[in-house]
Copies of this chain bind each other. A is one copy, B any other.
């Protein structure tokens, strides 16, 4: 039974390091365009270690996306908890994504990008993208119900459209202004829905 090892040889840390580096290079250059050797270089890990941990490039991609969607969900749940209930909680979600748009080299939603690259296939990227959309839908529906919306389900789906549309355009146009744009749309929709 292998006990906790030192630092350099800690498998958990190695795995996390590979995930972080792979997420960065996948996001920057695209998944199909990124070779395993680029992940090797970015992570400072050997191919042996990558394939021992993730089995294949496909497995690595799935692990990266799974990690990413979990982190995004945790961030959203966190900012929602810290915002005053009602309308403010919904706007807090869009303030969070607006801060992502403002990051230099923003590349859009990793899950949507992966599903788009993998189009025609019905693998993990598409499934994770759909789950990611479902998370947003359920989050918005919950917040809208609490805020007393007339039709929380419908309005929730509308907010997801706005969120993903703004994210896509912000990435394509490299324009952080889509954060304010999305917020204005949401304000109008909430005025009509609450």
Contacts and interface: CB of A to CB of B under 8 A. Distances in A.
A115 B160 CA distance: 21
A9 to B, nearest CB: 33
Contacts of A189: 185, 188-189
Contact of A192 (B163, B164, B191): B191
Interface stretch (A83-91, A116-124, A141-149): A116-124
Interface residues of A, number: 44
B119 A113 contact: yes
Interface in A136-194: 154, 157-158, 160-166, 168-169, 171-173, 178, 181-182, 184-185, 188-189, 191-192
A108 B117 contact: no
A52 interface: no
Interface of A: 27-30, 32-33, 107-108, 112-113, 115-120, 126, 129-130, 133, 154, 157-158, 160-166, 168-169, 171-173, 178, 181-182, 184-185, 188-189, 191-192
